[in-house]
Amino acid sequence: MIPQDIRTSPVCKLSVGEEIRGKWNHSRYRVRRRLGYGATGAVYLADSDHGVVALKIGHDQMSITSEVNVLKRFSKVQGKVLGPSLIEVDDWLKGKVTYPFYAMEYLKGETLFEFLRNKSTEWAGILLVQLLTDLHTLHQAGWAFGDLKPDNLLVTGPPYRIRWIDVGGTTIMDRSIKEYTEFFDRGYWGKGSRKAEPSYDLFSAGMVMINLAYPSRFTKGNNPDRQLQEKIAASPMLKPYGALLEKAWNGKYRYAEEMRNELVLLLNANVNNQTPQKLNNSVHKPPSRQAQKKKKGSFLVETSLVFMFVFIVYLFYMLGQTM
């Protein structure tokens, strides 16, 4: 949750045109506008010697250092672009107070809601496939995203690609989630702990899909399980994914690739106008070491097939737009 005091902090009140100068590297940044804020600070669009950047200014050195370390770790994940690229880290001296900040790549794109406004509902599933593929990579590297919500996601392109724009909630596995938003937090809904693990992110991923169907969100009722079922039943967009969303809600997925693979089957069934196979609601047992070795070899192939499918659906969409 976002503490009340962050909203009155000087880091959230920078004016358009205000200049930030690094204490150590002496780089200059001129503020264009605020992009958003969270528990650890505020993000601004700014002009600099490096071009247009996203500037994250915080009030706590440890929190900013933690985020910088996450961005550095992301850059070492071979073959994957998970978050924005880190440009530099510095401090800003305002009066007698020092504020830590870092500059990162500015990702230009649309919010999920903007992107889906004039798209078919299948695109929500396609973007979720991409998100789950990236979450699998993140989890394999030993991290949970934590504060997963549409506000922290962006669609760039074409070719269309979902990207993460704020890693402030990213937490090392098995620790307590350090930043969350109630609607996407399983603890708020009484569906589990706030322990950093794959199932925490997969619950949130399911709630991202639900939020796309209900942009204004909704508060918890007396019977959250029945509430979820009613919301799914009332939404034409969510109905095809009902079983998958309920499994994520109930923590039945142990790994992101499980949820991704079942989602791909559902999307294929929808595209081919077939009745999807009933999802198995049993809890999957952790794979053996031998099975894990086999999965590593086949994961690249599976991922390639997923993106081939996404590309084919995208081609059909583009052809439909030109007809």
Instruction: Kindly report, residue by residue over 31-64, the tens digit of the pLDDT.
Output: 999 988 877 889 999 999 889 999 999 988 998 9
Nearest to 135 by CA among 217, 75, 184, 204: 204
Nearest to 38 by CA among 190, 175, 146: 146
CA distance 10 to 58: 10
Q: Answer whether 164's CB lies under 8 Å from 82's CB.
A: yes
pLDDT band with cut points at 50, 70 and 90 for residue 4:
very low
Same fold for the domain at 4-105 and the one at 112-322? no
The confidence score (pLDDT) of residue 316 equals: 43
The confidence score (pLDDT) of residue 88 equals: 95
Specify the CATH number of the domain 4-105.
3.30.200.20
Is the sign of the CA dihedral 170, 132, 129, 297 positive or negative?
positive
Q: Is the model more confident about 244 or about 5?
A: 244
Mean pLDDT score across all residues of the chain: 84
Query: Which single residue is written with the structure tokens 């794109």?
Result: 109
Does 222 score more than 90 pLDDT? yes
Mean pLDDT of 281-293: 52
pLDDT band with cut points at 50, 70 and 90 for residue 10:
confident
The confidence score (pLDDT) of residue 54 equals: 94
| Protein fold of 112-322 | Transferase(Phosphotransferase); domain 1 (1.10.510)
Highest mean pLDDT among 46-50, 76-80, 307-311: 46-50
CA distance 219 to 226: 13
Q: pLDDT (tens digit, 9 = 90+) per residue, 188-221?
A: 999 999 999 999 999 999 999 999 999 999 999 9
The confidence score (pLDDT) of residue 114 equals: 94
The confidence score (pLDDT) of residue 323 equals: 40
The confidence score (pLDDT) of residue 318 equals: 42
Mean pLDDT of 178-184: 93
CA distance 256 to 283: 14
Strands 161-164 and 97-105: unpaired
pTM of the model: 0.78
| CB-CB neighbours of 12 under 10 Å | 17
Q: Answer whether 52's CB lies under 8 Å from 106's CB.
A: yes
Domain ranges within the chain, ordered by starting residue? 4-105, 112-322
Task: Give the chain's count of helices (H) and strands (E).
Answer: 8, 10
Q: Report CA 218 to chain centroid distance, whole Å.
A: 20
The confidence score (pLDDT) of residue 41 equals: 87
pLDDT band with cut points at 50, 70 and 90 for residue 320:
very low
Q: Is 91 a catalytic residue?
A: no
Identify the active-site residue in 147, 166, 185, 201: 147
The confidence score (pLDDT) of residue 78 equals: 53
* Integer angstrom CA distances of residue 23 from 56, 88, 99, 107: 15, 12, 10, 26
Instruction: Strands of the chain (E only): list them.
Output: 19-21, 28-38, 41-48, 51-58, 86-94, 97-105, 143-144, 153-156, 161-164, 171-172
Q: Is the model more confident about 120 or about 46?
A: 46
Does 119 score more than 50 pLDDT? yes
Is the sign of the CA dihedral 95, 100, 104, 106 positive or negative?
negative
Structure tokens at 184: 């996407």
The confidence score (pLDDT) of residue 297 equals: 53
CA distance 25 to 91: 9
pLDDT band with cut points at 50, 70 and 90 for residue 315:
very low
pLDDT band with cut points at 50, 70 and 90 for residue 169:
confident
| CB-CB neighbours of 322 under 10 Å | 5
Strands 28-38 and 51-58: unpaired
Q: What are phi and psi of 315, to 5 degrees?
A: -65, -45
Query: Which single residue is written with the structure tokens 């969510």?
Result: 238
| CB-CB neighbours of 305 under 10 Å | 12
How is residue 119 annotated by DSSP? Answer: S
pLDDT band with cut points at 50, 70 and 90 for residue 141:
confident
pLDDT band with cut points at 50, 70 and 90 for residue 289:
low
Does 283 score more than 60 pLDDT? no
CA distance 16 to 8: 17
